[in-house]
Amino acid sequence: MELLTYLLKVSACTALFFGFYLLVLRKLTFFRINRFYLLVTLLLSFVIPALQFNVEKAADVRQVSAPVAAPPLPIYAIAQAQAVEVIQMPVARQGIDWFSLIPYAYLSVAAILLGFSTWQLCRLLIYINNHSTRQNGLKLVPKTVGFTNCSFFNYVFIDERNLSGPDLAVLLKHEEVHANQFHSIDKIILMICKAVLWFNPIVYFFDKALEQTHEYEADEMTSLNFGTGAYAKLLLKLAVSGSNMPLIHNFVKSPIKARIKMLYNLKSGNMKKLSYLMVLPVAIGLVWLFSVQVVYAQSVLKSEVLPEDTLKKKALKNKELALPNVKRTDSYFVSADYLEKKAISESALGKTLIGTIKDTYKSKSKFDFDGGKLFQSQGRTYILPRVYLGSQTLNLLKKDSELKVVVSSTGFTKGERFVYIQPKQIFSGDKLVYQMPKPEVYPFLYEANKVRFNDGKISSITSSGNKKIINVIANGYNFKIAINRLQTDFADLKDYQTGDDVRLRFVHEVKTGAKSYSIKDWISISKNIRTFGVRNGILFHKFYKDDGRQKVAHIKTNISSSDNLIANNSKLEYQAMDSVKMSKDKTTIYMYGKAKLLLNKITIEADEIVYNQITREGHAINLLATHPSGVKILGSKGKFAADGQIEIWQNVSGEFRP
């Protein structure tokens, strides 16, 4: 559909340019300049939407603090897997996608119109070659029927029976002007434009206005030689003839009244030529609207990037996020408790468990992440967490009721007694009581250093001059990455082929369509999310250290006591689709089902949100957190506070990472 979008932009340009001509230029007697204006603006209408300029604009962000902290308790999870049980669904009949046929319909009509115009041109050339004589640089073609008293380039079609000698001399002088000014080239250009923009009525107005300008120009020069009065009489005499051939210039095809009136009009003063400069704001506005992409560059490239040791001494409690390739140093990873729970988690992953509901379970963590109900199956006890199912679903699960649970993912938290499971589906008998919601799809997410990332599949690899073009399909979006030799050695890309799964990191993306992006400032392309693979030698070290850890920008701010006072007394806004509940002491708010909370310009959207108004802290499940700086972070679990602190845990290849 990008072709149709482009053509609509072209049509918008033609409308504005022609509107300016009608309002300002049409009555001016600078016919040659008007002809130039009509031709150039018509061609510019095709060029402007095809241009692409990137304008970087620094985001004006006043950020109090955006710390990213490690969780107080390590959380471990086993990667999400597909359930082994296949549920048969009725196959829907696929109807015709009429919308997808629009490009083919457009191209068919355009091809037919171009073919018809080509056929007319060939017919004209065949007739010319068989009937022509030369006179004063013109080739005269006798013709008594059809199109007569007209010209095509230096070929003039004349009806000698209805023309006297003086009239023929005037006619030949008029057509000589058309030939010398190459007006027929304009006609061919308009013929092509009308075929391409056949659906746009403005292009037909361009054709009519340009033809009228041609006649005004020829009339002006001819009347200088033969007199205005005599020339006007000849126009009236021959006004009864006409032509339907779009490629030729007919002596009296254009409106006679307008042509005679223009002959007697006073010539426009030279100062009126300044009117043409008024089109510049229109052209600049169209370029800005259709060709300029404003990229709001994040301040990470311009911020003061400090070493880790220096950051720890700063008053702002910004911490680094560890990448997946950071080595584990916690002794818990080799403990018996860890190994036992890991084995239990892996054994339940992707299975369908049949068991019964037991008692309600209270998590040991501060935010009750693993709180929910206990589920017993095959001698093992699991947690069905509230943060995944929600209180409403848990209330439907009565004690000792038998359930069938299709497991999506599993995990455990240090200090908790049991492994938790994230159900994909829960059945009570044949009744489906829970279905995991489909996550919202985003084209990419953000790391703490504001680098974008996503996981996708290479759809094509091509060479374009001194560049490699890699197209990656991720989350239903197409990303076109342009790689040059200054960024990396092309030999490093030899192991990457079409169909490979890759992790893509980049900045300064440019949206080129509804679901397409163009990327020049890529950071890395890797086949393994734990490594960086091929790195951009120019940009990589602006965002990462040598060991792969992210560089976190230290943002200088001036925080006054009045700022803190405002923060402590700020209003809280919240809503939820399913329900909003308040604790008995009115201190805690519970929001379920597409919940949304706005707190000090921090927006939290989640399946479930719990917020304590006394501690001014909260937690959420399956959340999207939007910081005032514009950074969006998606996570499975997270907690936040009114002072701007946000902690997010993401399920990254088998383990939750902050």
Concatenated DSSP letters for 225-277? HH-HHHHHHHHHHTTT-----TTSEETT-S-HHHHHHHHHSPPPPGGGGGGGG
Cβ atoms within 10 A of the Cβ of 588, count?
A: 16
pLDDT band at residue 285 under the 50/70/90 scheme: very high
Distance CA 2, CA 511 (A): 12
- Contact between 468 and 483 under an 8 Å Cβ cutoff? The reply is yes
Pairing of β 352-361 and β 372-377? antiparallel
Comparing CA positions, the residue from 603, 587, 586 lying closest to residue 595 is: 603
- Contact between 626 and 632 under an 8 Å Cβ cutoff? The reply is yes
pLDDT at 85 over 80: no
What's the whole-number mean pLDDT along residues 75-84? 43
Choose between 490 and 568: higher pLDDT. Answer: 490
Tokens found for residue 84 = 């082994």
pLDDT at 44 over 90: yes
Q: What is the pTM of this model?
A: 0.46
Distance CA 188, CA 118 (A): 10
DSSP helix/strand/coil, 33:
helix
Which stretch of DSSP H or E encloses residue 323?
none
Torsion angle (degrees, nearest 10) of CA 82, 83, 85, 86: -30
Tokens found for residue 303 = 């911020």
pLDDT band at residue 522 under the 50/70/90 scheme: very high
pLDDT digits (tens, 9 = 90+) for 233-249: 877 776 655 455 554 55
pLDDT of residue 193: 93
Whole-angstrom Cα Rg for the chain: 37
- Contact between 533 and 526 under an 8 Å Cβ cutoff? The reply is yes
Average pLDDT, the chain: 78
What's the whole-number mean pLDDT along residues 322-349? 73
Distance CA 403, CA 375 (A): 9
pLDDT digits (tens, 9 = 90+) for 539-572: 898 888 877 777 654 434 343 433 443 344 456 7
What's the whole-number mean pLDDT along residues 392-403? 88
pLDDT band at residue 414 under the 50/70/90 scheme: confident
Residue carrying structure tokens 């860890």: 338
What's the whole-number mean pLDDT along residues 313-319? 40
pLDDT band at residue 80 under the 50/70/90 scheme: very low
What's the whole-number mean pLDDT along residues 194-218? 92
pLDDT of residue 585: 80
Distance CA 292, CA 295 (A): 9
Tokens found for residue 313 = 């001494």
What's the whole-number mean pLDDT along residues 464-479? 89
Comparing CA positions, the residue from 13, 15, 21 lying closest to residue 275 is: 21
Distance CA 53, CA 290 (A): 10
- Contact between 78 and 652 under an 8 Å Cβ cutoff? The reply is no
pLDDT of residue 415: 81
Residue carrying structure tokens 């008995």: 584
pLDDT digits (tens, 9 = 90+) for 142-156: 876 766 667 888 888
pLDDT band at residue 62 under the 50/70/90 scheme: very low
**Full set of structural domains in the chain with CATH:** 336-435 (2.40.50), 445-543 (2.40.50.140), 573-649 (no CATH)
pLDDT of residue 57: 58
Pairing of β 617-626 and β 602-612? antiparallel
pLDDT digits (tens, 9 = 90+) for 583-628: 878 888 888 888 888 887 788 988 889 988 888 888 888 888 887 7
Enumerate residues 6+ apart whose C-beta is below 8 A from 528.
Answer: 503
Tell how many helices (H) and how many strands (E) occur in the chain: 14, 33
For 373, phi and psi rounded to 5 degrees? Answer: -125, 150
Beta bridge partners of 431: 428
Cβ atoms within 10 A of the Cβ of 388, count?
A: 24
DSSP helix/strand/coil, 192:
helix
What's the whole-number mean pLDDT along residues 376-388? 90
DSSP helix/strand/coil, 58:
strand
